[in-house]
Amino acid sequence: MLLMSTKNYSNHMKRYKTIFSTFHTVYRLITTSGDVRNFATGICRLYKNAFGADSVTIVLKNVNSHGFLKMRLKDRRQFFKKGGISILTHAEREMLDHEKEAILENRLTYPFIFSDTLGAVCVRRSLNDFGFSELEKRWFLSLSEEISVALRIFNLYREEKRLMINYIKSLTKLLDQYVPTSYLHTKSIYKLIKAIGKEMSLSESETKSLEYASLLHDAGKIQLPSGILRKQTPLTDEEYKMIMKHPRKGVEMIKDLEILKPVIPIILHHHERYDGKGYPSKFKKDQIPLGSRILSLLDAFDAMYFGRPYRKRILMNDIEKELRLQMGKQFDPHIVEIFLKILKRKNIRKYLRSFL
């Protein structure tokens, strides 16, 4: 029959729609899967649903540890294993060694290769069921090809993140030795960032950016003469002008790191004041990025609560008075209100006291 029946046509359209949404899902998985296990689970489910498979097995090489991980979905059950080569069956090892796909009636396998073997997939349908159709076989090949690329991107993304975290760690260590005064008490600051983030309904990535910014906000000071930073007597106008350059210098140091892009505005404006009398841009109120408004408050709190080499610590009651006094002047009044509420919590007070 030359013309497709209406039912067949609508089945075909449904099939094509599924194919397109599957390709879209692969890219969503790269950006939303936090770790490789989630990524592997997402890919397994994708194959299982798309091909109505009885079982899907995915084996991936772990780029950091040189080990392997295996994810298997069978019926509604899920198996996960991580370890050395011994976790793989003979058939799974062969799947990785073969450089070509195997397209059989009820079994499809494909090695994910992108300049190197990254892993492999095996999709099975029970022998009692119909075998895979020609369309499904072709679709399997192009989907698997796309997943090879996605896997490479995912690995690169993880590698960049790992490098970036190491870079931040060594930078803050160096900063701590060079400018002890600009070091914030990381653990307590993280706790306060989490509490503020929850109270203000910040997203996970906004909270993460604030954590990075709290570590790096004064990194630009590394490029200033240490004599100025350690000076105990009041600064001259000229010296103060140099200090005011540290947010821009800090941004210069991280501007090429893709993952730190959201941190840039927070660092650049962490010395702005709510009344517009800060630097470098003399921004006022909402012109100042939210992250910078939170960070400037936490920075001031840290200096008051823990003290600095040139300044004694201040008691909590006096800190609260000072913060109230600066509402609408140095700080965003709304954020001060939220912060004071958090400081009233017993568990927070106890946690902060544990660092004294």
Positions touching Fe ion (CB under 5 A) are 218
Q: Which residue lies nearer to Fe ion by CB, 55 or 188?
A: 188
The residue among 251 and 323 lying less far from Fe ion, judged by its C-beta, is 251
Say how many C-beta atoms besides its own lie within 10 A of residue 166's C-beta: 10
Nearer to Fe ion, 119 or 278 (CB): 278
Cβ-proximal residue to Fe ion, closest one: 218
Bridge partners, residue 124, by sequence: 55, 107
If the CB atoms of residues 218 and 272 are measured against Fe ion, the closer one turns out to be: 218
Q: What is the DSSP letter of 5?
A: P
Shortest distance, position 285 Cβ to Fe ion, whole Å: 20
DSSP string of 90-153? HHHHHHHH-SS-EE-SSEEEEEEEESEEEEEEEEE--TTS----HHHHHHHHHHHHHHHHHHHH
How many Å apart are CA 225 and CA 233, to the nearest integer?
15
A 10 A CB-CB count for 39 gives 22
Strands 116-124 and 107-114 turn out to be antiparallel
The least CB distance from residue 216 to Fe ion, in Å, is 10
CB 249 to Fe ion: min, Å? 11
Q: How far apart are CA 129 and CA 237, in angstroms?
A: 82
**Least CB distance from residue 152 to Fe ion, whole Å?**
39
Cβ neighbours for 312, distance < 8 A, ≥ 6 positions apart: none
CA distances in angstroms from 73 to 41, 52, 54, 145, 156, listed in the order given: 8, 12, 8, 21, 26
- Shortest distance, CB of residue 294 to Fe ion, whole angstroms? 14
Nearer to Fe ion, 92 or 302 (CB): 302
Residue number with CB closer to Fe ion (218 or 332): 218
Nearer to Fe ion, 107 or 245 (CB): 245
What is the smallest separation between the CB atom of 184 and Fe ion, expressed in angstroms?
A: 10
Shortest reach from residue 292's CB to Fe ion, in Å: 10
Distance between CA atoms of residues 352 and 356, nearest Å: 7
Q: What is the 8-class DSSP label of residue 270?
A: T
CA 270, chain centre distance (Å) = 22
